[in-house]
Structure 1
Amino acid sequence: MKGAWSVLGVTLAIQAMVAMALLTLPAMAPAVAQAVGISAVYIGIYVAVVYSGAIVASLAAGPAVARFGAIRVSQAGLLLCAAGLVLSMAGTPAAIATGAFLIGVGYGPVTPASSHLLALSTPPERMSLVFSIKQTGVPLGGALAGAIVPGLQHLVGWQGALVAVAAACLACAAVAQPLRAALDADRDPARPMVLGHLGRPISLALSHPGLRLLAGCSFVFSIAQLSLTTYLVTYLTDTLSYGLVAAGLALSVSQFGGIGGRVFWGWVSDRGLGARRTLALLAALMVVLSAATALLEPGMPDLLVLAILLLFGASAIGWNGVYLAEVARQAPPGQAGLATGGTLSITFLGVVLGPPLFGALSGLFGSYRAGFAALALPTALCLAALLRTRRDVQAGA
């Protein structure tokens, strides 16, 4: 288990940095939108472009990891995220969109790469916990973005904030270099990168009933997660009259809820509740808390608002580790990276479609409340599917 914890530390740091890169611009969306001269509602399009790149990269991740090694692929991801942030400094919609796509291409292969490393080094009975701890890197990166980026924007401007996060990504890639030889020892430099094989991960995910259910639920859960992280700052500033720094801190609170949630739900799943029942419980919480977020009003006590957002983060951001560990468990032997890439491409499709739909619905009704309220319906359908599957398994036992 000692080796697993070492791998965990490396993958956690890399995951946090690419997540921070992804959420850097959303964390200061009102200021960037004003500088560029567009509506902040278009931040959903930005996130969709990011995850369009992530879909492509996640499908290529399995062959890339096999050929170049998981650490080298992760380092390349960090470099691409840094390049995307720097390109976005140009301040034109075209440059920001291109930068977003590069960030997505950098973000996409990191999770399959880390799943490859952790699946090899983690005992099966600890998988949910270890994968959940590693996946705390995503909300940790979001918390860092929410806590640091708005303040940086006030100090050095939004372009200076982009440069600072890009530099942090480069530093993380450099720190990982001494570990590359040992952790990438299983790479096969002769492994071909064949474009025709990019459909194999999706085929694997859709042909396996358990993986198909997990991928479908992750599609919906990712809509809830990214709608929360993408629009929370704008919702709080526009609807609840929060200042940008206060709204950024509230985003950090939701992300810290996700950090604690990922570890807690992984522990709960490993301790006997099981992955599917844990995911069903999380779906139920998302239904309640998305509705509660839609009902927030100006003048509500800050502690009450933060408590709701903390719990919303714990559920809407806390599901990933349990999900990824279950994908690794159900994947055919030696194909955890391939299965993760296939299911993640469907997860990322939810992110591509979800935030723009959230923004369009909010624009149609003239309030971000409509978007948060609408999240309850698809998560309720996931809850029903998970409960029905659980009953089918028990009936066939």
Structure 2
Amino acid sequence: MTTDASVSDRPGEAVSLPWLLAETTIIQALGTAAVLTVPALAPAVALTLGVPSSFVGYQVGLVYLAAMLSSLVGGAVVSRWGPCRTGQTAMALTAAGCLLASIPHLAGMIAGSLAIGLSYGLINPSASDLLQRHSPAHRRNLFFSIKQTGVPIGGIMAGLIGAPMAVAFGWGAVLWAVAATCIVLMLALERGRARLDAHANPATRLLRSAGLGLTTIRSDRSLLILAAASFCFSAIQLCLVAFLVVLLVEELHMGLIEAGMVLAAVQVMGAVGRLLWGHVADRIHSGLAVLTGLAVLMAVVSTTILFVSPQWPLAAVIAAFMLLGLTGVGWNGVYLSEVARLSPLRAVGSVTGTAMFVTFAGVLVGPTLFSSVHNHVGSYIGSYGVLTGLAIIGGCLAAATWRRDRRKTGAADPRPA
């Protein structure tokens, strides 16, 4: 009999759900910490490399360009080698990327960013495969959201731990610490790997399997529109976390450590939001309705931040960014759960990988667009109009998907628990 604590898709092979949630969440946290460490320490890194601090938008774009490419084959890699082995591969690539990026030279940063991006594109297809196979359907949004708390946890690691460590030992030491932790986790994942990867098919053809996800999304307008909405949401999220520290330091005159603490607070709210919105989506039986509502809140808060100035009370500034963290960082778990729900059961990994290609495209375009607007208007705060526009577009797309889904299936999830 299936229980919440121990479930399985294979007779006689129970899988500990708490262990599975811990494994997928930690992998997500470390992958995200690697992605966000450079943006969190942008002023110090830019000084060492001899580039302007706004370079961080292009560095983040490079990371997600690589993530886009690897996500396309992520589901095929999961199918061929198994989700656990894929997670181990992601941790190995993350460690290598951090070590390369710690080299105080622009070439090392470029190579390291590419490796970190390649690893990041593998994380969601592997985790979605595991959670879709082993989590009970009536709590799917919550379990996906628990796993996705790894993203803000990684941001907290980068901001709350990374900034003081960088001040004490240099920013390279932060990347070394992330690399060492990834290696330890990669080795620890070997325990139980054979059971979790039992459904792997070594005969899977990577390119053909990758094409399955693309074909599925192209033929399902609900998935296609939902993925387009995630383009907007991911652009908002990465613009928020990538430019927050440099905005606070250069335009609101905070110290690096204090700004890192604000980034950590924003990420905490993102983690709270992921759990909250996952729970709400399960209670009202509509993740798409939740995503539509979150877009409205993102638009309102982003517009408010356009008027932030050094004369604002510090508490009001922090509250505005924390509220944007609650919404703009809190949407992912519900989104991934909806992608899994709308996907064919045997193609969750491939469809998730393809959907994340579109999501990562938003991350690639968003910070680059934000940097370009900043270079034109000369203000990070003044560039927040970009986020308002993205939120409005994303909300319209999420609402369209919600209407299509209601017409097709009604409010209830038609798939069995």
Q: TM-score range by the shorter chain?
A: over 0.9
Larger helix percent: 1
**TM-score, L = length of structure 2:** 0.91
CA distance in structure 1 between the partners assigned to 2:254 and 2:57 by the alignment: 20
Larger mean CA deviation between 282-291 and 296-305 belongs to 296-305
Greater displacement, 222-231 / 204-213: 204-213
Counterpart for residue 113 of structure 1: 126
After superposition, where does 1:163-178 map in structure 2 within 5 Å?
Answer: 163-178=176-191
CA–CA distance in 2 between the matches of 1:32 and 1:298? 25
- CA displacement at 1:172 relative to structure 2: 1.8
SS at match of 2:189: helix
Q: CA deviation at 1:184?
A: 1.4
Could you tell me whether the CA contact under 8 Å between 2:70 and 2:122 is conserved in 1? yes
Q: Report the AA paired with residue 85 of structure 2.
A: R
Partners of 2:232 and 2:362 within 8 A in 1: yes
Aligned equivalents of 1:223 and 1:156: distance in 2?
32
Q: Kindly tell me: are residues 388 and 334 of structure 1, through their superposed partners in 2, closer, same or farther at Cα, counting changes over 3 Å? A: closer
**Offset at residue 388 of structure 1 (A):** 4.4
SS of the aligned residue for 1:177 comes to coil
In the alignment, is the contact (CA less than 8 A) between 2:212 and 2:351 conserved in 1? Answer: no
The aligned runs of 1:385-396 (5 Å cut-off) are: 385-391=397-403
Q: Deviations over 1:58-101 (max 9, x none)?
A: 11111111121111111111111111111112222222111101
1:256 to 257, 265, 268: 268
**1:199, CA displacement in angstroms?**
3.5
The one of 105, 119, 143 aligned to 1:130: 143
Contact 1:204 1:342 in 2 (8 A): no
**Paired position in structure 2 for 1:2:** 5
State whether residues 202 and 345 of structure 1, in contact with CA within 8 Å, keep that contact through their aligned partners in structure 2: no
Trace 1:1-397 onto structure 2 (pairs within 5 A): 1-3=4-6, 4-193=17-206, 195=207, 197-272=209-284, 274-391=286-403
C-alpha deviation, 1:299, in angstroms: 3.9
How large is the Cα RMSD of the aligned pairs? 1.6
Aligned length: 396
* Percent of residue pairs identical: 38
Q: Distance in 2 between matches of 1:243 and 1:106?
A: 32
Alignment CA distance shift 1:189-1:360 (3 Å): same
Do the aligned partners of 2:232 and 2:393 also contact (CA within 8 Å) in 1? Answer: no
Counterparts in 2 of 1:390 and 1:112: CA distance versus 1, 3 Å: closer
Aligned-pair CA distance for 1:294: 2.5
Q: Per-residue CA shift, 1:22-54, capped at 9, x if unaligned?
A: 111111010000111000101011111101111
Asked if the contact 1:233–1:244 (Cα under 8 Å) also holds between the matched residues in 2, the reply is: yes
In structure 2, stretches of 5+ residues that fail to align are: 7-16, 411-417
Unaligned runs of 5+ in 1: none
Amino acid paired to 1:233: V
TM-score normalized with structure 1 length: 0.96
- Whether the 8 Å CA contact 2:225–2:400 is kept in 1: the answer is no
Q: How far off its partner does 1:168 sit? A: 1.4
